[in-house]
Structure 1
Amino acid sequence: MWGLRGRHALVTGASRGIGAAVAEALAQRGARLTLIAREEGELFRRVDLIRRATGAEVQGIPADLTDPPSAEGALDEACRRLGPVTILVNNVGFVSTAPFLETGPELWWRHLEGNLMTAYRCIRRLLPGMLAEGWGRIVNVASTAGLTGYPYASAYCAAKHALIGLTRSLALELARKGVTVNAVCPGFTDTDLLRRAAGEVARRTGRGEEEVLGIYASRNPQGRLVRPEEVAWAVVWLCSEEAAPVNGQSIVVAGGEVLAG
């Protein structure tokens, strides 16, 4: 089940955390992979690890997806090397916590670039190939912050809400064209991104970083941080043939933190 043999999957933000876990899980299901990340050394180490662990065909393309020319060149190169991308996992993310009145325009736009515009650019560039194939899966890695609010994270919440809005709208537009568009919404997940955010909060509040991480874990009714691989298997399912009728959904991976009222 969930076989993806031969499908060309492109994962952004793939050198660590959720992106790395998603890439390995897709490789285990037979996908051919393009991994994109900014840090070249970490990216190629991840490519080598996944290739050795799974035997999959994996390539890495360093690029800054917040820079339009860099993004365009990387996406075109991915398709030249391995053919049309039919699975796209938008996992690039950026978060910096600050009170709203300390969130100036530059920081606000960095959140929109890092969490929304990168996904927009990838979808715009790769969707024509999916439509030509008559099959595609787009999965946007959003967050529970796209479904609810958190203090000191107004820019991040706004960007992730926008990403979910894009997911829902595009899902309806493509519903009869063989392409599904969904989001996964992890809760507090044990990644470098979360630990950097915890460090910022610790510096602002005088708490220890581990204490802040404990507060994050307490938001999960299961009393723990989510693991990247748990998010990854939700993504893999959404990419599968078996999930074909699932479209426009925001799958929460948070131990019950966000429930419909």
Structure 2
Amino acid sequence: MTLAGKHALVTGGGTGIGLAIAKMLAAEGCQVTITGRRQAVLDQVAGDGIFGMVMDVRDEAQVVETVGVAVEARGPVQICVANAGIAEGRALHKTDLAFWRDMMSTNLDGAFLTIREALASMRTTDWGRVIAVSSIAGLRGLQGASCYTASKHGMIGLIRALSEDYLGKPITFNALCPAYVDTPIIARNTLSIAKRASVSEDKARAMMISANRHNRLISPEEVAVAARWLVSPGSESVNGQAIEIAGGQM
């Protein structure tokens, strides 16, 4: 089997993990639609099989329209990577409903809408792969980030249920669960942790690094390699799994 010519959809594909996965898929011959909220960011990385489209995963009408246009242009989505998300910690007693709903709308509702619309065309084909980029916080509680943790647990629940729905069919559903990855989110979280914990930015960054079992940040390309395995021949029996990428047992 070859991935050449297959249409892949990667949300949040302009930076970080999404961009690393998009580049990997394009290198394998896929036509890759990447989405994000900033056209300028998408334009910077488009080309060589990568096509940028503005899409806010929180907006149902926009997701329906954008995925439909992408399918019309590049064919049925056969690889769907629900990657778009936000990561921010906040104590529960300081969490208002607006913060909670924005986190859920982006991380969980966004994954649901993306996968639902991708499946509409994927179900008409003879092969498909759905990958949700969750987090190690989808498998355990992350201190100081109850809202984020709940959203990432929900993503894994969605993937596990869908894998049961499609047992015996040529579509698999899996989640990738990385620990701290060296992306722009780390830079933003460094400032947030430093402020909340009243420590220096260097100390805040060191706290995140030490949370990874191998005491270093994970590269986005390491996550992309795991995604490559899930779309490669021989992974057909890997289904409904939450795959840790954390430098050791968590």
Whether contact under 8 Å (1:220, 1:257) holds in the other structure is no
Equivalent residues in 2 for 1:137-156 (5 A)? 137-156=129-148
The 4+ residue runs of structure 1 with deviation greater than 6 A are: none
Shift of 1:257: 4.4
**Alignment partner of 1:63 out of 50, 55, 63:** 55
**Alignment partner of 2:185 out of 180, 183, 193:** 193
2:33 partner SS: strand
How many angstroms apart in 2 are the aligned matches of 1:61 and 1:246? 30
Whether contact under 8 Å (1:131, 1:177) holds in the other structure is no
Q: Is 1:29 paired with 2:21? A: no
**Alignment partner of 1:248 out of 218, 240, 245:** 240
2:77 partner SS: coil
Q: Is 1:93 paired with 2:92? A: no
Shift of 1:65: 1.3
Shift of 1:241: 2.6
How many angstroms apart in 2 are the aligned matches of 1:7 and 1:241? 14
Whether contact under 8 Å (1:131, 1:178) holds in the other structure is no
Q: Which residue of 2 aligns with 1:181?
A: 173
How many angstroms apart in 1 are the aligned matches of 2:20 and 2:75? 23
TM-score computed with the length of structure 2 as normaliser: 0.97
For the aligned residue pairs, the C-alpha RMSD in angstroms reads 1.2
Shift of 1:3: 4.0
Q: Which residue of 2 aligns with 1:161?
A: 153
Equivalent residues in 2 for 1:31-46 (5 A)? 31-46=30-45
Whether contact under 8 Å (1:139, 1:239) holds in the other structure is no
Code of the aligned partner of 2:193: V
Whether contact under 8 Å (2:7, 2:32) holds in the other structure is yes
2:234 partner SS: helix
Shift of 1:205: 2.0
How many angstroms apart in 2 are the aligned matches of 1:89 and 1:243? 16
User: After the TM superposition, which of the residue ranges 37-46 and 63-72 deviates more from structure 2?
Assistant: 63-72
Q: Which residue of 2 aligns with 1:54?
A: none
Shift of 1:239: 1.5
How many angstroms apart in 2 are the aligned matches of 1:236 and 1:116? 23
Q: Which residue of 1 aligns with 2:124?
A: 132
Q: Is 1:123 paired with 2:115? A: yes
Shift of 1:242: 2.0
Q: Is 1:237 paired with 2:223? A: no
User: After the TM superposition, which of the residue ranges 201-210 and 212-221 deviates more from structure 2?
Assistant: 201-210
Shift of 1:151: 1.4
Q: Which residue of 2 aligns with 1:208?
A: 200
How many angstroms apart in 1 are the aligned matches of 2:182 and 2:6? 29
How many angstroms apart in 2 are the aligned matches of 1:120 and 1:59? 22
Code of the aligned partner of 1:15: G
Code of the aligned partner of 2:32: L
Code of the aligned partner of 1:11: V
- 1:79-138 Cα deviation digits (max 9, x unpaired): 011010000000011122111100111111111111111111011112121111021100
Q: Which residue of 1 aligns with 2:5?
A: 6
In structure 1, stretches of 5+ residues that fail to align are 52-56
Equivalent residues in 2 for 1:70-85 (5 A)? 70-85=62-77
TM-score computed with the length of structure 1 as normaliser: 0.93
Q: How many residues align?
A: 250
